[in-house]
Amino acid sequence: MSDLAAQPITTSRRAQRHAWRNSVNAWLLLLPAAVLLATFTHYPIVATIQHSFFITRRSGDPLFVGFDNYRSMFEDSIFWKVLWNNFIFAAGTIPTSIALALLMALWVNRNMRGRGFLRLAYFTPTILPMIAVANI
């Protein structure tokens, strides 16, 4: 067993204040992105869940129905058919797209003549929209 104890780290008030100020500045810089994220992703999710508990008619106010919408959805045979079709589609397309992406990555990474042009042709459709947005 060791007789040495860890020495407490002492920092000056000035260093603590500087660290706190840097932290606040970092959070203030992240604030616009957080507001946009909440506005365009979190708010629609919450609003959709809230609206799913109501039934809306053309001629009146929304009527609260609770879980009746979900109950009727789960009792509908078409819902289960569509859900099964989506699983089949995902089971077919996801592994295929992953395999194609890996094969194309291996193809682009081979040591061959014209590899630079091949990489340019492969990555240009990805890079051009980013360049256009960056210039705006």
- Strand (E) or helix (H) holding 54: strand 54-55
What number is the average pLDDT over the span 46-53? 95
Is residue 64 within 8 A of residue 53, CB to CB? The reply is yes
DSSP state letters, 11-49: --HHHHHHHHHHHHHHHHHHHHHHHHHIIIIIHHHHHHH
- Record the pTM: 0.57
Q: Which residue has the tokens 């859900």?
A: 83
67-126: pLDDT as tens digits = 999 999 999 999 999 999 999 999 999 999 999 999 988 988 888 888 889 888 888 888
**Mean pLDDT confidence for 43-70:** 92
Predicted confidence at residue 8, as pLDDT, reads 64
- What is the residue extent of each domain of the chain? 13-66
How far the first Cα of the chain sits from its last, in Å, is 64
pLDDT at 56 (0 to 100): 87
pLDDT class of 32 with cuts at 50, 70, 90: very high
pLDDT tens figures, 13-31 = 777 777 788 788 889 999 9
